[in-house]
Amino acid sequence: MTKKVYPNSSALDGPKRATDRHVSVLTVWKKSLLLNCKGFTVFDAKGNLVFRVDNYVSGNKGEIVLMDATGKPLLTIRRKRLSIGENWLVFDGETTVSPRFSVKKQMNFLNSKSLAQVSTGNKKVAYEIDGTYAQRSCVVYDDKRRCVAEMKRKEAVGGMAFGDDVFRLILQPEIDPVVGMALVISLEQMFGSRRFSS
């Protein structure tokens, strides 16, 4: 039996929510479409390519570009230099001026569930990310502590596991899928075993 990387139409598990008709489910594959690159390939529920990340090993260190299916740059994620702990800045397109938001690795050991905080330009916390990235089991909460996104392992038909390189990103209507992917990329840089840049 072959495994499909992209999702089937019945992509959600668990109890139905009132907003299910607005939930989008992406299948994230930790693989670049280009040879000798590291990155992500992301499909929608119909199997269409929606996002990609292709980083050459010898490319720009500490900077990752999220693109749409055609290769148009949507966001640039860059590590903030001279900061305590890991802090990644997210910019629109290929610019590196006036970050849209930042993702900072949580350093508070008393709150062991929290992985990272997402802050806007005015330092206001917009999202908190809890869970474990290594298990692909994370929840993104907004400032009102509502779940706006989740990462879950993906299983193929028949219960066969894909492993850590293929997982689902479940997005509520309150979060832009582009922002959701920026959070995935940031978590990969902070907690992934094979980071895209150094």
CATH code of the domain containing 100:
2.40.160.200
Q: What is the pLDDT, as a whole number, of residue 113?
A: 81
For 93-110, b/e burial (b = at least 16 CB within 10 A) is eeeeeebbbbbbbbeeee
Walk along the chain (198 residues) and give the pLDDT tens digit of each residue.
445 555 444 433 433 343 445 899 999 999 888 877 788 999 999 999 999 998 755 445 578 999 999 999 999 999 988 767 789 999 999 988 899 999 999 876 666 689 999 999 778 999 999 999 999 999 999 999 999 999 998 877 676 767 788 999 999 999 999 999 999 999 999 998 655 554
Is 34 inside a domain boundary?
A: yes
- Dihedral of CA atoms 116, 76, 29, 120 in degrees, nearest 10, equals 30
For 78, the domain range is 22-191
Is 15 inside a domain boundary?
A: no
Is 131 inside a domain boundary?
A: yes
Q: What is the pLDDT, as a whole number, of residue 159?
A: 67
Q: What is the pLDDT, as a whole number, of residue 106?
A: 86
For 146-172, b/e burial (b = at least 16 CB within 10 A) is eebbbbbebeeeeeeebeeebbbbbbb
Is 157 inside a domain boundary?
A: yes
Q: What is the pLDDT, as a whole number, of residue 16?
A: 37
Is 180 inside a domain boundary?
A: yes
Q: What is the pLDDT, as a whole number, of residue 183?
A: 97
Query: In the block, which residue shows the tokens 């489910």?
Result: 25
Residues 6+ apart with CB under 8 A from 110: none
Indicate the length of the chain as a whole number.
198
Is 2 inside a domain boundary?
A: no
Count how many domains the chain has: 1
Asked if residue 81 lies in contact with residue 96, where contact means CB atoms within 8 angstroms, the answer is no
